[in-house]
Amino acid sequence: MKSTYGERVFYAINGLFLLLLGLSCVLPLIHVGAMSLSDKNAIASGSVSLWPVNFDLSAYHVLIDDTPLLRAFRNSVVITVVGTLLNMIFTVLAAYPLSKRYFIGRRFFSFLIIFTMLFSAGIIPMYLLLKALGLLDTYGSLWLPGLVSVWNLMVLRSFFEAMPEELEEAARIDGCSEWRLIWQIILPLSMPALAALSLFYAVAHWNAFMSVLIFISSSKLHNLSVLVQQMIMNQTLMQEIGNLQPDLAMSLTPEGVKSAGIIAMVIPMLIVYPFLQKYFVKGVMIGAVKG
């Protein structure tokens, strides 16, 4: 069907808007990456834009050798991997029964869960609760409060509801148990939704910042987000680096090291996303629309 003149104008304006929106997100990241790979003089003179000037890896060398980057990276990986695994286990265990019409109390439990989206206890009661449970200064204080996202739970429940009931009936006729039905039939068919929700959970854990600052006091347990924030706010960073490696510090600027820290934090998620991209849109759209 041939598009009208008005539709073509709309598509052109919409495409231009999306292009500008995409560039506004990508260009700052490219600029930060170029600064992290440029030498001191280029950064100080402001000649770095979207391409490294006088290519130099000194900032990354200092970041790895003189800051707890590797430890913070390991902590971020542990927080993200274990946290996402726990999130998906409990989200599936909650969404599956709520998607079944024969589940007694389905509406009541759904109401209680959705009610938590409107009201929350607040950070102080949460802190006191985690203290009473002995979870402060442990990663449990990061995993337990957000164990299940209500929004993700509702999306997955809708996805399960859209599955044909004949599929489960046929499996039960063949003697399939409930756990085997979930593990061998429901979950493999739900990979698009599971991948999309896993990405949501993983990004949230990887970028965890305020919860780490509030609930975890030991610097040895801090993740990359906190380390990068401390590098950006700490005005004595270059002095500390200069005391460790005077010769190398002479060729660095604080902006270069901070830019390298930001890139080190962003790159892992940029690497993971392409592997889940093919599931992302399909999973969210199918789970959000009841067919």
Q: How many CB atoms lie within 10 A of CB 200?
A: 18
Q: What percent of the chain has pLDDT over 90?
A: 13
The answer to whether residue 234 scores a pLDDT higher than 70 is: no
Per-residue pLDDT reduced to its tens digit, 93-102: 999 888 888 8
User: What's the rounded Cα separation, in Å, for the pair 269 and 43?
Assistant: 26
Per-residue pLDDT reduced to its tens digit, 165-193: 788 888 888 787 878 888 888 888 888 88
Q: Which span out of 63-67, 99-103, 146-150 was modeled with the highest average pLDDT?
A: 146-150
What's at 215, amino acid-wise?
A: F
| Average pLDDT of span 114-131 | 85
59-288: which CATH topology?
MetI-like fold (1.10.3720)
Residue position matching structure tokens 């997100």? 25
Check residue 17 and give its pLDDT: 93
User: Where exactly are the structural domains of the chain?
Assistant: 5-45, 59-288
The answer to whether residue 246 scores a pLDDT higher than 80 is: no
Minimal CA–CA distance to 54: which of 269, 275, 251, 280?
Answer: 251
Using alpha carbons only, how large is the chain's radius of gyration in Å? Answer: 24
The answer to whether residue 268 scores a pLDDT higher than 90 is: no
The answer to whether residue 291 scores a pLDDT higher than 50 is: no
The answer to whether residue 235 scores a pLDDT higher than 60 is: no
Name the more confident of 26 and 284: 26
Minimal CA–CA distance to 95: which of 153, 148, 147?
Answer: 153
pLDDT tier for residue 285 given thresholds of 50, 70 and 90: low
Name the more confident of 43 and 278: 43
Element counts in the chain: helices (H) and strands (E): 17, 0
The answer to whether residue 290 scores a pLDDT higher than 50 is: no
What's at 199, amino acid-wise?
A: L
Check residue 162 and give its pLDDT: 82
What's at 223, amino acid-wise?
A: N
CA distances from 115 to 94, 98, 140 (A): 15, 15, 24
| Average pLDDT of span 226-251 | 65
Are 75 and 223 in contact by the 8 Å Cβ rule? The answer is yes
Check residue 1 and give its pLDDT: 63
Minimal CA–CA distance to 228: which of 61, 4, 48, 76?
Answer: 76
Residue position matching structure tokens 């102080």? 124
Crossing angle of the two packed helices 69-98 and 150-161, in degrees rounded to 10: 50
Residue position matching structure tokens 């919860």? 211
Q: Which span out of 69-78, 189-198, 230-239 was modeled with the highest average pLDDT?
A: 69-78
* HSE of 209, CA atoms in CB hemisphere, 13 A: 9
User: What's the rounded Cα separation, in Å, for the pair 225 and 205?
Assistant: 10
Per-residue pLDDT reduced to its tens digit, 69-90: 888 889 999 999 999 999 999 9
Check residue 92 and give its pLDDT: 92
Are 163 and 185 in contact by the 8 Å Cβ rule? The answer is no
| Average pLDDT of span 18-43 | 87
Tokens of 207: 């970028």
83 — alpha (psi -120 to 50), left (phi > 0) or beta? alpha
How distant is the alpha carbon of residue 174 from its chain centre?
40
Check residue 242 and give its pLDDT: 55
* HSE of 64, CA atoms in CB hemisphere, 13 A: 6
Check residue 84 and give its pLDDT: 93
